[in-house]
Chain A
Amino acid sequence: MLKYALRRLLLLIPVLFIVTVLISSLIYFSPGDPVRVMLGLRAQPEAVARIRAELGLDQPYYIRYLKWLGNALQGNLGRSLQRNEKVSEMILERLPASLEMTFFAVVVALLLAVPIGVVSATREGGLTDNLLSLFSLFWVSMPGFWIAIIAIMIFSLYLGIFPISGRGGPLWDLEGLRYLALPGLILGIRQVAIISRLIRAGMLEILGEDYIRTARSKGLAERLVVYKHALRNAMIPTVTIFGLQIPEILSLSVIIETVFAWPGTGRLLVDAVLKRDYTLVQGIVLVYALLVILMNLAVDLLYAYIDPRIKHE
């Protein structure tokens, strides 16, 4: 198990290497000059040239990349082109807020999706099942940023229950929770709509299996059959799907963070892109890729816990 985890961690290296090559090529070949953004359109050509030299932007692509890579390996992601702060510090400062929202959303998603999926499956074709299906189809079709704006209009502007935007403090603080509630729920409920469908499909398949008939025929209570025999087996494909959903959750969180002015890495990314802050964008993309890979690893390790048949050799 430990060996497996270590090998997966080693696999990180080539993956992250390709990600960095990709993103720095993208930056290099895209039009627009960050120095022009910094100094304004009417800047003196000499001043532009001097700053370019200072930032090393006048050097060829591969030298710039190798220099950046060398620094990155030592944990130095360079300095922001616009704010002259360390990129690594800017990201670390905002990462907790983003992780907090993602964590909250994942907990909401699992707490709601599992019971909804089970109820839908045990009442296949009934009114409850159909209503839940319709709800999830509608919810998946609504743009996240639109739901966010409607929620702000209803719950913040009209009813005044939740703050409009920003972060109030850490998660365990009631005030912090009040700020987190709207963005966190919106992020989480979208996953509920997706995951509950998959749990339902998995449950339906498993409820038709022979060992379920055996369990029923030996007189086990239906509740035991559903929760102990079926659900545990239905969780295996669900965990896979959940792993595949991780990039999606992070994706939507970028948009939700922007709408709610949440001080996380997602909003930082959008700001950095709009200001052509290349070093900052490079760092943030790298961190997101790292997050996806680490979370996927965690999901894979979770398998062995849910399904004792799986042994990571």
Chain B
Amino acid sequence: MILNQEKNTRPEAGETHLKAALRRMRRDKAALAGTGIILLLCLMAATAPFVTPYDPFKQDFEVMLQAPSLDHPLGTDRYGRDVLTRIVYGCRYALIIGVAVVAIQLMVGMTLGLVAGFYGGWLETLIMRFTDVMLSIPSVVLAVAIAGFLGGGVQNVIIAVGAIGWRAYTRLVRAAVLSAKEETFVESARAVGCGDLRIVLRHILPYTLAPVIAYTSLAVAGAILWAAALSFLGLGAQPPTPEWGAMLADGREDMMDAWWIATFPGLAIMVTVLGFNFFGDALRNALDPKMKRAVRR
């Protein structure tokens, strides 16, 4: 009986909460800007070959280092490749890296956070101490070491950046689990004989989702930024991959006489990160109206 009642009320309550959040987001200009940027990125990534007539890899020594013109709106690099084309194809790498990194962080971070918060005791101490120790190594130092030892490549960048970002999720989820455990619905679930796994997955996990979702968009922004930094240092995507960080490293060599090669990929990173930050901020405000006053822009 109690279980039935819970089944009937929980999703509905969640729905209205979500609807209210969506309504709040529709009124937020920054949220709209962020959504627009993210949609545009997805569109460019999906339709890259149709957006631009050039090949991102094909070298053309007739048009080396050309300044922006009508033929090449953002100029060409020293191998005669069209910078705009490479930036458009770069959307694919940015999105894939951002999503894959956050997926790793979510899996590791949420699992550890759920276990630590739910079981408590020595297991919690162990997990949280381990998280603290990991936090004492600066992110880039750890990511550089991991990416470097695994060897370059997009895949290893994803692992390296994934390995540094899960710590925030562990703390976030653990805190949410601790407050969920105080709620009566957990108690009643236990009273009707639910097992640990069922309680965690069906009753506690949904409770932790709001802060996790709000943080995830910001985490994608961070992941894209750090992955580009690793590629820039030569530890990530390798040339001739049209990845924005690697393109910037390329352009740095020619910054004396071709400012456009290093400038535009950086601009692309900035717009992308800005989009996810806008969206994430708005999402956080929409999901948690109480916080709006404190962090309102």
Contact = CB atoms under 8 A, between A and B. Distances in A.
A159 B278 CA distance: 34
Interface string A121-133: 0000000001001
- Central interface residue in A137, A144, A252, A273, by most chain B CB within 10 Å: A273
Q: Place the interface of chain B in its size category.
A: 35 or more
A288 B256 contact: no
A276 interface: yes
Contact of B248 (A27, A145, A292): A145
A143 B140 contact: no
B297 A30 contact: no
A23 interface: yes
A149 B137 contact: no
Contacts of B133: 15, 18-19, 22
A270 B151 contact: no
Given A30-B150, A247-B135, A273-B144, A255 B233 contact: yes
A251 B274 contact: no
Given A31-B151, A141-B277, A146-B269, A288 B233 contact: no
Contacts of B142: 285
Contact of A133 (B136, B270, B297): B297
A201 B295 contact: yes
A235 interface: no
Nearest to B139: A251
Contacts of A250: 138, 140-141
Given A248-B138, A288-B138, A270 B252 contact: no
A288 B269 contact: no
Interface stretch (A87-95, A150-158, A224-232, A299-307): A150-158
Interface string A230-268: 000000000000000001101110110011000000000
A58 interface: no
A175 interface: no
Contact of B136 (A30, A254, A293): A293
Main secondary structure, interface of A, reads helix
Contacts of A204: 293-294
A284 interface: yes
B138 A145 contact: no
Interface string A6-23: 000000000100110011
Interface in A182-208: 197, 201, 204-205
A153 B262 CA distance: 10
Nearest to B249: A145
A150 B256 contact: no
Nearest to A133: B297
Nearest to A286: B137
A99 interface: no
A255 B221 CA distance: 18
B259 interface: yes
A201 B291 CA distance: 10
Given A137-B297, A273-B144, A281-B145, A143 B139 contact: no
Given A23-B145, A149-B262, A285 B137 contact: yes
A288 B148 CA distance: 17
Contact of B138 (A32, A205, A251, A259): A251
A269 interface: yes
Q: Which of B148, B245, B278 is most buried by chain A, counting CB atoms within 10 A of its CB?
A: B148
B69 to A, nearest CB: 20
B266 A269 contact: no
Nearest to B271: A141
Interface residues of A, number: 53
Nearest to B134: A22
Contacts of B106: none
B234 interface: yes
Contacts of B147: 273
Interface string A204-225: 1100000000000000000000
Contacts of B294: 201, 204-205
B161 interface: no
A146 B270 contact: yes
Contacts of B234: 274
A26 interface: yes
Given A32-B149, A141-B274, A247 B139 contact: yes
Given A31-B151, A141-B270, A273-B235, A19 B136 contact: yes
B228 to A, nearest CB: 6
B141 A254 contact: yes
Given A141-B274, A146-B269, A150-B266, A276 B137 contact: no
B146 interface: yes
Contacts of A53: none
Contacts of B252: 149, 259
Contacts of B263: 150, 153
Given A144-B229, A152-B255, A258-B233, A292 B149 contact: no
Of all A-B residue pairs in the complex, the 8 with the closest CB atoms, nearest first, are A273-B148, A146-B266, A30-B149, A251-B140, A247-B138, A141-B274, A141-B273, A250-B138
13 contacts: A15-B133, A19-B133, A22-B133, A26-B145, A142-B266, A146-B269, A149-B255, A250-B141, A251-B140, A255-B140, A270-B235, A288-B141, A293-B136
Given A22-B134, A197-B295, A254-B144, 18 more contacts: A15-B132, A15-B136, A22-B133, A26-B149, A31-B149, A130-B297, A137-B278, A138-B270, A142-B269, A143-B228, A143-B229, A247-B138, A251-B140, A255-B229, A255-B232, A258-B233, A270-B235, A273-B149
